[in-house]
Amino acid sequence: MTQRQMILGMQLGNGYGSQGAAWRAPGVDVSNYTSFDAQVRYARAAERGKFAFLFLPDFLGQLGAGLDHEAPMLTLEPLLTLAAIARETERIGLVATGSTTFNEPFNLARSFKALDVMSHGRAGWNAVTTSDAASAANFGRQIAPRPERYQRAHETVQVVQALWGSWGRDAWLKDAEGARFADPAQIQPVNLQGEHVASRGPLAIPPSEQGQPVIFSAGGGAYGLEMAGRYASAVIGAVFTIDDARAQREAIRESARLAGRDPDEVKFFAGVMPAIASTTREALDRRVALGEHTFPARVAYLGSMLGLRLDVGQIDEPLTADQLDAARPSPGDPRSPRALEVAREGWTIRDVLAHGVIDYHPTPVGPAAVTADHMQEWFEAGACDGFWVSIDVYEDGIDTFVDQVVPLLQERGLYHHDYEGPTLRDHLGAPHQYGTDPRLT
Ligand SMILES: Cc1cc2nc3c(=O)[nH]c(=O)nc-3n(C[C@H](O)[C@H](O)[C@H](O)COP(=O)(O)O)c2cc1C
Residue to mutate (ligand 1; options 73, 100, 129; most atoms within 8 A of CB): 129
Give the atom of ligand 1 at the shortest distance from the alpha carbon of 223.
26
**pLDDT surpasses 80 at 65:** no
- Measured in Å, residue 59 CA sits from the centre of ligand 1 at 9
Q: What pLDDT score was predicted for residue 100? A: 98
Question: What DSSP character marks residue 421?
Answer: S
Q: What mean pLDDT is reported for the chain?
A: 96
Q: Please tell me the distance between residue 255's alpha carbon and the centre of ligand 1 in angstroms.
A: 18
414 — pLDDT class (breaks 50, 70, 90): very high
pTM above 0.95, yes or no: yes
Q: Where does ligand 1 bind, in terms of residues with CB under 6 Å?
A: 57-59, 97, 128-131, 146, 149, 218-221, 223-224, 236-238
Beta bridge partners of residue 91, listed in sequence order: none
- Residue whose CA is at the smallest distance from ligand 1 atom 5: 57
132 Cα nearest atom in ligand 1: 11
Query: How do the domains of the chain map onto residue ranges?
Result: 7-273+365-428, 281-354
Reported confidence tier of residue 3, pLDDT bands at 50, 70, 90: confident
Are the C-beta atoms of 223 and 146 separated by less than 8 Å? yes
> Residue 293 burial (CB < 10 Å; 0-12/13-18/19+)?
middle
Residue 156 C-alpha to ligand 1 middle, in angstroms?
17
Listed residue (301, 324, 321, 322) closest to 311, CA to CA: 301
Q: Nearest residue CA, atom 22 of ligand 1?
A: 131
List the residue whose alpha carbon is closest to atom 24 of ligand 1: 131
pLDDT digits (tens, 9 = 90+) for 340-374: 999 999 999 999 999 999 999 999 999 999 999 99
Helix locations, 259-358, DSSP H? 280-290, 295-306, 321-326, 336-344, 349-354
Question: Over the stretch 183-220, which tens digit does the pLDDT of each residue have?
Answer: 999 999 999 999 999 999 999 999 999 999 999 999 77
The angle that helices 242-258 and 368-380 make with each other, rounded to 10 degrees, is: 40
CA 373, 337, 342, 350 dihedral sign is positive
Q: What pLDDT sits at residue 69?
A: 86
Asked if the 7-273+365-428 domain carries CATH number 3.30.750.24, the reply is: no
Residues facing 128 on adjacent strands: 99
pLDDT at 232 over 90: yes
d(CA 34, CA 174): 39
Q: How many CA atoms lie within 13 Å of 34's alpha carbon, on the beta-carbon side?
A: 1
pLDDT single digits (tens) 297-346: 999 999 999 999 999 999 999 999 999 999 999 999 999 999 999 999 99
Cα-to-centroid distance, 99 and ligand 1 (Å): 10
